[in-house]
Amino acid sequence: MRILFSLLLYGVAVPAFAALNIFACEPEWGALARELGGDKASVYVASTALQDPHRIEARPSLIARARSADLAICTGAELEIGWMPLVQTQSGNGKIQVGQPGWFEAASVVPLLEKPERVDRSMGDVHPAGNPHIHLDPRNIERVAAALGERMASLDQPNAGSYSERTKSFLERWRAARARWEKEAAPLKGMPLVVYHKNMTYLIVWLGMREVGNLEPKPGLPPTTAHLADLLARLAKDPAKAIVRSAYNDPRPGEWLAARAKIPSLTLPFTVGGTDKAQDLFGLYDDSIARLLAAAR
């Protein structure tokens, strides 16, 4: 009977009451929204660190959650093009449609790197607007936090004071942390890395590291043995310190190459929840830098 009752409850459970109902496409924006929203916001995160943000499906649960959102926070720059447009149109929620105040694209307030000069699918699944994996440069987090804080305040005016206060406090703590990270990560300067996908670019540029190869033959295409063998030959001439993958990438191609090139294969959390220590944005950076430093030694 109790089971039946809780099943019934599950079926009709209406999203918890909070001033601002937020639908975050990726864990990093969910974590940021929690930092800025505190108890004024109820945050639902559509994907986890173990899932490839390009390849989420427009699942029933996502449509149901998007239905009641006041604000959807996504990366934009076509990262979610395979699923978010569908979630938006199917949700029947006018607030989160493109162009509405309830639609926030983080990439729109950040200068994007690697904007292709020419867009052609022979180059793989490239994003015409530039590389969308912006959240691993803490200066981008600052830019997004400032814009998002304002957006949350304008959408929920009775609590505007709380959002701007929390944003201010977050930015202060964040800038202090950034200064610390930049100091700690000084030994990483110039460190050559092989990455799985071009999703570490912003981190590499921020810390002055060097990307010497990709496990993917073209963006979005799974690694092939031919390409890995080619990469191995190149590494003999231009060696890398480590192979990095994000928590959601298949570990096997990196391990294969690592064993032959005799360099460590490293897993970075990539986003909040990717490792045990990356439980919030601060933890994400702490753990990423600690892991890179360990490999650099």
Partner 1 sequence: MLRKLWCAAALAAAMQGAQAQSAFNPDLSLILQGTAAYSSQNPDDYRISGFAPSGGEVAPPRRGFSLGESELVVSSNIDPYFRGQLVAALTPDNTVEVEEAFFQTLQLGRGVTLKGGRFLSAIGYQNPIHQHAWDFQDAPLAYKAFLGGRWNDDGVQLKWIAPTDLLVELGGEAGRGRGFPASDPNKNGAGAWTLFGHVGGDLSTSTAWRAGLSYLNASPRDRSFEDGGITQSFSGKSRLWIADFVVKWAPDGNATTTNFKLQGEFFRRAETGDLTFNGMTGDYSSRQSGWYLQAVYQFMPRWRVGYRYDRLDHGTVSSGLTDAQAPLLLTDYNPTRNSAMVDWSLSEFSRIRLQLASDKSRAGVTDNQALLQVIFNLGAHGAHTF
Binding-site ranges for partner 1 (CB under 8 A) = 10-15, 47-48, 50-52, 55, 57-61, 63-65, 67-68, 78, 81-86, 89-95, 97-100, 115, 117-119, 121, 124-125, 128-129, 220-222, 248, 250
Residue whose CB is less far from partner 1, 92 or 158:
92
For residues 124 and 192, which CB has a smaller minimum distance to partner 1 in the complex? Answer: 124
Nearer to partner 1, 180 or 218 (CB): 218
**Nearest distance in Å: CB 230, partner 1:** 18
How big is the chain by its Cα radius of gyration, in Å?
A: 20
**Closest approach of Cβ 235 to partner 1, in Å?**
23
Q: In Å, what is the CA distance from 277 to each residue of 82, 155, 266, 289?
A: 30, 33, 15, 12
The least distance separating partner 1 from the CB of residue 94, rounded to whole angstroms, comes to 4
Please state the closest distance from residue 210 (CB atom) to partner 1, in A.
27
Nearest in space to 265 (alpha carbons), one of 246, 279, 278:
246
- Residue 20 or 207 with smaller CB distance to partner 1: 20
Q: Closer CB to partner 1, residue 102 or residue 138?
A: 102
Report the Cα 59 to chain-centroid distance in Å: 19
CB of residue 18 vs partner 1: minimum separation in angstroms?
14
DSSP 205-264: HHTT-EEEEESSSSTTSPP-HHHHHHHHHHHHHS--SEEEEETTS-HHHHHHHHHHHT--
Closest CA relative to residue 71, chosen from 18, 109, 124, 121: 18
